[in-house]
Amino acid sequence: MKLYDSRRAPNPRRVRWFMAEKRIEDVEIVDVSIFDGDHKTAVYLSKAGLPHVPALEIDAETTITESVAICRYLESVYPEPNLFGRDAKEIAVIEMWMRRVEMMVSTPMMMAVRHSHPAMAGIETQVPEVAQNNLGMAERALKVLDRRLAESPFIAADRVTMADILAITAIDFARMIRFRPPKELAHLARWREEMMARPAAAGGI
């Protein structure tokens, strides 16, 4: 298998973090420069179908994009440690929190960075109001996570799951625009510190 990766993009980092948690080391990593347009070449598009990173080339016939889909596939090939749920109830709870994090935190954080960081101006028509509105939406959502983390050590379970990976990579990506979660969100701060101290955090950079 080959993982088409881009170090500057947030979604590939999700997959790298996921792989680091599982200690997956037998997937070939191929660097793709989005600033050089590598993801828009005919060769890349013939595999991925869309100019998206990451992409996982499973075999000569099949390449999948979308970070969560890639991680679900890798979970089926490398089932331990489990990051998507062990039974029907846990799978549903983790999926619920994954969706919440994606819609309420990850997407707004990414939009805020894309529409305000100077480096993104070359690949994005930036609208300052879009950045401001999305950052405000994400900040409100972090209060939801803080309340959840007051009652649970991690976002969706008693251990790290894909929901935590989605959240931490989004929050950390927002460092590009000097964003820091409000200090009063103590439970979120405790969780964030624990996540960034994990060996997989370094592997995911």
Q: How far is CA 200 from CA 33, 47, 75, 145, in A?
A: 23, 28, 16, 21
Q: Are residues 30 and 127 in the same domain?
A: no
CATH code of the domain covering residue 49: 3.40.30.10
Domain C-terminal end among 77, 104, 120? 77
Confidence band, pLDDT 50/70/90 cuts, at residue 97: very high
Q: What number is the average pLDDT over the span 58-62? A: 94
Taking 80 as the threshold, does the pLDDT of residue 170 lie above it?
yes
The answer as to whether 203 is a domain residue is no
Rounded Cα gap, residues 63 and 103, in angstroms: 25
Of 51, 77, 103, the domain-final residue: 77
pLDDT value for 27? 97
pLDDT average, residue stretch 77-100: 98
Higher pLDDT, 126 or 61: 61
Q: Look at residue 205 and tell me whether its pLDDT is greater than 70.
A: no
Position 205 in a domain:
no
Report d(CA 160, CA 140) in Å as an integer.
23
Q: Are strands 2-5 and 63-65 parallel, antiparallel or unpaired?
A: unpaired
What's the pLDDT score for residue 204?
61
Q: What's the domain count of the chain?
A: 2
Structural domain contains residue 82:
no
Are 164 and 100 in the same domain?
yes
CA dihedral 78, 51, 123, 200 (to 10 degrees): 0
Note the pLDDT of residue 46.
95
Q: Which domain holds residue 68?
A: 2-77
Give kind and range of the element (H or E) at residue 170.
helix 162-173
Can you tell me the mean pLDDT for 23-45? 94
